[in-house]
Amino acid sequence: MPLTDTDLDPIDLLRLGDRHALAIVDRDGTLSAVPAVAEGDRWRRAGSGDGAAEALLRLLACTPGRSTHRRFEVVSWTGGPAPETERPVTVDQTNESIIVGDLAVVKWAIHLEPGPHPAPGRLAALTAAGFTAMPTPWGVVTWTPRDGAETLVVTVTGYLPGAVDGWTWAVELFKDAARSGDHAAVIGVCATLGTVVADMHAALAATVTTSTRTDAQRWRDGAFATLAAARQLARPGSAQLLADHDEHITAVLDRLSTLVGIPILNAHGDLHVGQVLRTGDLLVITDFDGNPVLPPAERILPVPAAVDVAGILQSLSHVAIVAAERSELTPEHLTPVDADARAALLNAYLHRLSETGHADLHIAHALGALRLQQVLREVVYAGRHLPRWMYVPDAALPALLRETSR
Ligand code: ADP
Ligand code: MG
């Protein structure tokens, strides 16, 4: 019998008070964590306004710390009182987020990822270290399947009114700077962002270990696998460029195999401007779910801090490409803005990293290879999932090849 919304048939359930639950459902082998509300003797899929998010917040408020409910684990960093009144987040999203009382965002993992999941550990480490440039974590719920690793099913964070992500705020800033020739605002915001990223790495420094030959070989092999996929998926122009510069590209990516004996840490892992929310002068980093292109077991492994730095720097170059595409501006108008933005971010990052006593975390000679890998990943992503994004890596690749061959 096909499942309907009034007959969830959960494979596991976390009760949230009398009438609500968090249900794990299996639809044709795909697991989801969905909010549920009791209807007679059945569980119905709860929507915004049905009170499941409010019920979860009440549970977090009355059980601060860590508590285990069979295969569920609830971690709460809040002691209440629990806000009320639900409304949905309406922007494009992968999961399903509900805003409660304009104070908290409850994100249900509608697409349950196989574990292990990096977010609970990252959020706990950042919270313990007093890092504040992220939406305030209120709590997480994890679930451990009978035959698998623990994974994340709900994340609750403090709500930031009016927050927009970098694919909006940075694109606007870049366009304004290119039109006026005044780069002060871009430089100011990117410097702040560099400081925030350094503070995040300093906060995660408690997780530092040293890379082994196996780590370096895995990074190198991963980059060459990405290169092979990009060669298959690139459009003719970029495919030609990859062929023409094969020797240079191979040499750059090969540098990853030399990253032995360097400091590595539980970094963000998927840092780009889209993960940076801005509200007024405040910048916060979101989404500690790890890099979705890596297999789950690899997502939780420590990496050089330079992975995050390369990710955020390269995303600024992509912002410049998007800004030119979506306006009357040409790439030539945007190039100096991009250069100033990246220089400001990197300088501020290095300055703060030194100030906090963690200068050794920065591995400058890895940046070129990691940025190149990021561009190749964008080719693969666009080729497989989002063809209309391909203009971004198509424009980024020649620019980066010019930069790395200087
Ligand atoms: P998904 O994994 O579903 O993409 P995200 O965590 O990226 O979910 O959030 C999706 C969107 O919801 C963000 O781009 C942002 O607009 C909004 N959002 C997420 N967290 C918050 C928050 N704490 N405060 C305000 N808005 C948020
Ligand atoms: Mg997102």
Query: Quick one: pLDDT at residue 95?
Result: 87
Query: Quick one: pLDDT at residue 405?
Result: 84
Same domain, 129 and 217: no
Domain boundary among 133, 158, 183: 158
Overall domain count for the chain: 2
Same domain, 204 and 57: no
Q: Residue 130 belongs to what H/E stretch?
A: none
List, edge to edge, every strand of the sheet that includes 30-39: 12-16, 20-27, 30-39, 42-45
DSSP string covering 251-310: HHHHGGGG--S-EEB---SS-SGGGEEEETTEEEE---S--TTS-HHHHTS-B-THHHHH
CATH number for position 309: 3.90.1200.10
Distance 10 CA to ligand 2 centre (A): 26
Tell which one of 93, 95, 99, 273 to mutate to probe ligand 1, the residue whose CB is within 8 A of the most ligand atoms.
Answer: 93
Ligand closest to CA 286: 1
Residue 317 belongs to some domain of the structure:
yes
Domain boundary among 99, 131, 158: 158
Same domain, 229 and 265: yes
Which structure tokens are listed for 112?
Answer: 């349950």
Range of the domain at 251: 166-405
Select from 169, 167, 133, 156 the least CA-distant residue to 285.
133
Return the number of other C-beta atoms located less than 10 Å from residue 145's C-beta: 17
Same domain, 133 and 178: no
Distance 375 CA to ligand 2 centre (A): 19
Closest ligand 1 atom to 165 CA: 14
Query: Quick one: pLDDT at residue 2?
Result: 38
Select from 97, 162, 118, 174 the least CA-distant residue to 308.
118
Do the beta carbons of residue 45 and residue 33 sit within 8 Å?
A: no
Strand partners, 139: 76, 156
CATH number for position 113: 3.30.200
Distance 76 CA to ligand 1 centre (A): 19
Which structure tokens are listed for 47?
Answer: 């929507």
Select from 226, 252, 211, 97 the least CA-distant residue to 163.
97
Which structure tokens are listed for 99?
Answer: 């805003």
Domain boundary among 103, 130, 158: 158
Query: Quick one: pLDDT at residue 19?
Result: 95
Measured between alpha carbons, how far is 36 from 322 in angstroms, rounded to an integer?
A: 40
Segments of 62-208 assigned E as strands: 65-69, 72-76, 86-88, 96-100, 104-108, 137-143, 151-158, 164-165
Same domain, 266 and 323: yes
Each residue's pLDDT, cut to its tens digit, for the chain (406 residues) gives 334 456 788 999 999 999 999 999 998 888 999 999 999 889 999 999 999 999 999 999 999 999 999 999 999 998 878 899 999 998 777 789 999 999 999 999 988 988 899 998 999 999 999 999 999 999 999 999 998 999 999 999 999 999 999 999 999 999 999 999 999 999 999 999 999 999 999 999 999 999 999 999 999 999 999 999 999 999 999 999 999 999 999 999 999 999 999 999 999 999 999 999 999 889 999 999 999 899 999 999 999 999 999 999 999 999 999 999 999 999 999 999 999 999 999 999 999 999 999 999 999 999 999 999 999 999 999 999 999 999 999 999 999 999 988 7
Same domain, 177 and 139: no
Same domain, 225 and 348: yes
Distance 105 CA to ligand 2 centre (A): 13
Residue 31 belongs to some domain of the structure:
no
Same domain, 331 and 253: yes
Same domain, 152 and 170: no
Which structure tokens are listed for 78?
Answer: 């809040």
Q: Residue 220 belongs to what H/E stretch?
A: helix 213-233
Do the beta carbons of residue 112 and residue 149 sit within 8 Å?
A: no
Strand partners, 36: 21, 45
Residue 377 belongs to some domain of the structure:
yes
Residue 19 belongs to some domain of the structure:
no
Same domain, 58 and 116: yes
Same domain, 121 and 170: no
Residue/partner pairs of 225-230 with CB below 8 Å, 24 or more apart: 226/373, 226/376, 226/377, 226/380, 227/253, 227/376, 229/376, 229/380, 229/383, 230/376, 230/377, 230/379, 230/380, 230/383
According to DSSP, the β-strands at 151-158 and 137-143 are: antiparallel
Distance 172 CA to ligand 2 centre (A): 19
Select from 23, 26, 73, 83 the least CA-distant residue to 51.
83
Residue 318 belongs to some domain of the structure:
yes
Residue 59 belongs to some domain of the structure:
yes
Do the beta carbons of residue 20 and residue 58 sit within 8 Å?
A: no
Query: Quick one: pLDDT at residue 59?
Result: 95
Same domain, 264 and 321: yes
Ligand closest to CA 104: 1
Protein residue whose Cα sits closest to atom 19 of ligand 1:
105
Greatest alpha-carbon span in the chain: 70
Closest ligand 1 atom to 94 CA: 3
Residue 23 belongs to some domain of the structure:
no
Residue 9 belongs to some domain of the structure:
no
Query: What predicted TM-score, i.e. pTM, was given to this entire model?
Result: 0.92
Distance 282 CA to ligand 1 centre (A): 15
The pocket around ligand 1, CB under 6 angstroms, is made up of 89, 91, 93-95, 97, 105, 107, 135, 157-160, 163, 165, 286-287
Q: Residue 392 belongs to what H/E stretch?
A: helix 391-404
